[in-house]
Amino acid sequence: MKLMIGLVRRSDMTHEEFAHWWIEEHAPLARTLPDVQRIRFNLLDGDGPFDGIAELWFASPEAMDASYGSDIGKAVAADSIAHVESRVRMPVIEHDIHG
């Protein structure tokens, strides 16, 4: 199961400040999420609806819920909410297309 999260920075932050916080401060915290299998942070170049899109992989929806329900998961979410104006959580089902 994959969770994508679109993040829009706080209005008082520059894109560079957001990028620094997200990659240098938030990413190490996110890596401590229980049962997360893989994480990818994608910074947008300023031309889109989000400043960043996170991708997190879990074994199942239940594992994802348990991870974010843990004390660490709550701390990760609180840190994110404190630094963004909005965040959109999007559980997705991946389909690899090879051609």
d(CA 16, CA 44): 11
Torsions phi, psi of 87, nearest 5? Answer: -145, 135
- pLDDT tens digits for 85-98? 999 999 999 999 99
Residue ranges covered by each domain of the chain: 1-6+55-92
Of the pLDDT bands very low, low, confident and very high (cuts 50, 70, 90), residue 20 is: very high
Q: What is the pLDDT of residues 61-73, one digit of tens each?
A: 999 999 999 999 9
